[in-house]
Amino acid sequence: MLTALSIRDVVLIDRLDLSFGLGLTVLTGETGAGKSILLDSLGLALGARAESGLVRAGCAQASVAAVFSLPSEHPALTLLIEQGLEAEDEIVLRRVVMKDGRSRAFVNDQAAGVALLRRIGALLVEVQGQHEQMGLADAATHATLLDAFGVPTGLRETVAEAWRAWRLAEKRLETARIAIETARRDEEWLRHAVDELATLKPGLGEEDQLVADRQRLQQNERQAEAIAAAIAELTPRDRRGSAGPASVLRSASRLLQRLVPARQADQTNPAQAALAALERAEEALAEADILLGRLAADADADPRLLEQTEERLFALRAAGRKHGVPVAELPALLDALCERLAGLESGEVELAGLESAAREARAHFVASARALTDARQAAAGRLRDAVMTELPPLRLDKARFFVEVADIPESAWGPGGADQVRFLIATNPGQEPGPLAKIASGGELSRLMLAVKVVLSQGSVVPTLVFDEVDSGIGGATAAAVGERLTRVAETVQVLVVTHSPQVAARGLAHMRVSKAAKGTRTATTVEPLTADDRREEIARMLAGETITEAARAAADDLLGVAG
C-alpha cells in the first residue's frame, strides 16, 4: 500500500509530506483548492507524462516520491528483480521534472526508465476518475479480473504451460524444416564435399605432425646434401682431367721419395719430414673418407617421403581454405557434413515425428483453452449477476452489465487462452452494450468500477485504489451507498477518495483537508490530517456551505455516527 507521499514545488504545492494508512482515506476541500494537483503529483511518481507546467513558478525543478509497503510475494517486487534492481519490502518511486519538461525517474534511488516506472506503478495503484480511467476501462485487464473472480488458478497455469509446450514444439518443427530444406538445396554440394573430405581423411592434429615431419625431412636432406658435397670434393674428378686430393697426395709422395736415400731415416732431412707429413695427410684423408661414407650411409634423407609429406600438407591446407576453416577443424567439419547428409536421408522420418508432436501439443492447448473458456463463461455469469446486484443502489438501476467471453482467431491465441474477455455496459434501456469507456460517462464509469471492485477486490494484486470524485452528480441515498461500498472495498485494499460528498467523507477511516491560502505574494496548497473535531467541522461545511450552522454540525454528527 501507499505509505508516504512527498511533493516538492509542484504547481501550487511548495513542500508537502503526507502519510497514509490502511483502509479508506478521504480527501476533501473546496473546488480549486488543489486536490487534482495532489493526484497529478501521485501520477508523476507512477510514470504519468511529465510537463513543464507542473513545475512551481520560480523553481528549477519539481519532484515527487511515493513510498509503498508490499508483501514479499508481490508482483512488483518480482518485476524489480527481473530488471536487476534491488527489491525490498518497501518500494520508493521518485520522479524529478525539470523546468523544460525533461524528467528523470528513480526506483529505490536507482535510475530507471519512465516505462519501467509506469509498469511498476500499474501494479501498485489503480486510478478511476472523472477524466482518466485506468484498470477497469482497459479491456486487456478484464480476463485477469474475471479469472481472479471465479477461475481456478491451476486451470490458468495449465493453459499457459500448454501454450509454452506448443510454441516449443512448433519452434523445433520449424527449425527442422529449415534445416532439411537447406540441406536439400545443398545436397549435390554436400555429397561432393563429404566425398572429397572422406577421401582426404583429415586427422586430428595431423597438420602439426606434418609440419614437424616436413621440417625434420628438410633438415635431413640438407645434411645429406652437405655430406655428398664433401665426399665429392674428396673423390677424383677424372672426367675433367683433374685428380682428387688423395691422388694429389700420392703423386707428391712419389716425387719426394726420390730425394730421400733408401733406408735413410734421418728425420732432420727436410725431404724426409715432408714425406712423413704427406703420409699422415693421406692417412687422415682416408679416415675422413671412411667417416663421410658412414655419415652418408646413416643419413635419413628420403626425397620421396618429403615430397609426399608436402603434398599431404598442401592438400589439407587447400581444403581448409576451400571450406573457410582452419585445418584443425576439418575433421569436425566432415562429421558435421556427414550429420547433415544423414539428417537429409532420415529427415522425413524425424520431420514426421516433430509434426506429430506439434499436433499433439496444439490439441492439448486447444483442450486446455476450451476448459478455461468454459470456466470463464461460467464465472462470467456469476460476475454479471454479482455486479448487477450492486448497481441499483449506485443509481445505475437502468444499466445492464455484461461479461463477454468470445473466441478469437488462432493468430491471437496466447498463454492466456483462446478467447477474449470484455466488460460491456448499456446504461439505458434499448441501448446496445458497448465498451465501458465509450458508453459510460465519467461518473457512471467510476461508480461501475466501484461496483466491480466490491465484487472483485479479493482477487486484485493492486494494493491501492484511487477514486477521484466517484460521487460526482449524486447525493442522498446514492452517495451513502457509494460510501458504504467504498468502506467494503477498503476492508481488503487501501482506498483513497477525493470527494465532495459528506456521506462519503463520513465513511473515511482517515480524513485529510486540501486547502489553498496566500503566503506572502504567492498562493500555496496545503493538506492537513483532521482531528475528530476538525473533521466534524469539515463535514458540516460540506453540508451547509460557507456558513456552518448548529443544524449542519448535528447532521455531521449523524453521518459520523452512522459511519461509525
pLDDT digits (tens, 9 = 90+) for 504-520: 999 999 999 999 887 77
* pLDDT confidence of residue 362: 96
According to DSSP, residue 422 is labeled E
Across 211-215, 230-234, 254-258, 356-360, which has the greatest mean pLDDT? 356-360
Residue 187 has pLDDT above 60, yes or no: yes
Closest CA to 457 of 71, 148, 58: 148
pLDDT at 411: 93
Ranges assigned E (strand) in 11-52: 13-19, 24-28
Mean pLDDT of 433-439: 77
Which has more confidence, 274 or 68? Answer: 68
Query: ∠ at Cα 292 (291, 293), nearest 5°?
Result: 90
Among candidate residues 159, 150, 320, 293, the one with its CA nearest the CA of residue 230: 293
Within a 13 Å sphere around the CA of 222, how many CA atoms are in the beta-carbon half?
Answer: 6
d(C-alpha 85, C-alpha 311), whole Å: 61
pTM: 0.64
What is the per-residue pLDDT for 31?
82
Instruction: Measure the CA angle with vertex 425, ends 420 and 428; round to 5°.
Output: 155
pLDDT at 432 over 70: yes
**Ramachandran area for residue 269 (φ above 0: left; ψ -120 to 50: alpha; else beta):** beta
pLDDT, position 237: 59
- pLDDT digits over 113-155, tens only? 999 999 999 889 988 765 455 566 778 888 888 998 889 989 9
Q: Which pLDDT value is given to residue 131?
A: 45
Q: Does position 303 have pLDDT exceeding 50, yes or no?
A: yes
Average pLDDT on 221-226 reads 79
| Position 301 confidence tier, pLDDT thresholds 50, 70, 90 | low
Rounded Cα–Cα distance for residues 409 and 338 (Å):
43
pLDDT tens profile 64-97: 999 999 988 888 888 888 888 887 788 999 999 9
2-6, 117-121, 137-141, 539-543: the lowest-pLDDT one? 137-141
Indicate the pLDDT class of residue 238, thresholds 50, 70 and 90.
Answer: low
461 or 414: which carries more pLDDT confidence? 414
240 confidence band (pLDDT: 50, 70, 90):
low
How many CB atoms neighbour CB 375 within 10 A?
A: 20
Reported as a single tens digit per residue, the pLDDT across 346-378 is 777 788 889 999 999 999 999 999 999 999 999
Show the domains of the chain with their CATH numbers.
Answer: 1-129+469-529 (3.40.50.300), 157-439 (no CATH), 531-564 (no CATH)
The backbone torsions φ and ψ at residue 92, rounded to the nearest 5 degrees and listed phi first, read -115, 115
Among 256-260, 417-421, 440-444, 560-564, the minimum mean pLDDT is found in 440-444
**pLDDT at residue 88 in the model:** 79
Question: In this predicted model, what pLDDT tens digit does every residue of 157-173 receive, in sequence order?
Answer: 999 999 999 999 999 99
DSSP string, 366-390: HHHHHHHHHHHHHHHHHHHHHHHHH
How confident is residue 299, by pLDDT bands cut at 50, 70 and 90? low
3-state SS string for 46-102: CCCCCCHHHECCCCCEEEEEEEEECCCCCHHHHHHHHCCCCCCCEEEEEEEEECCCC
Distance in angstroms (rounded) separating the CA atoms of residues 154 and 123: 22
Question: Looking at residue 130, what DSSP letter applies?
Answer: S
pLDDT at 253: 75
Contact 424, 436 (CB under 8 A): yes
DSSP state of 414: B
Residue 442: per-residue pLDDT: 64
Q: How much of the chain, in percent, has pLDDT values that exceed 90?
A: 29
Q: Where are the alpha helices (DSSP H) in 186-244?
A: 187-200, 206-234
Residue with cell 519452434: 171
- Specify the pLDDT at position 440: 63
CB atoms within 10 A of CB 559: 23
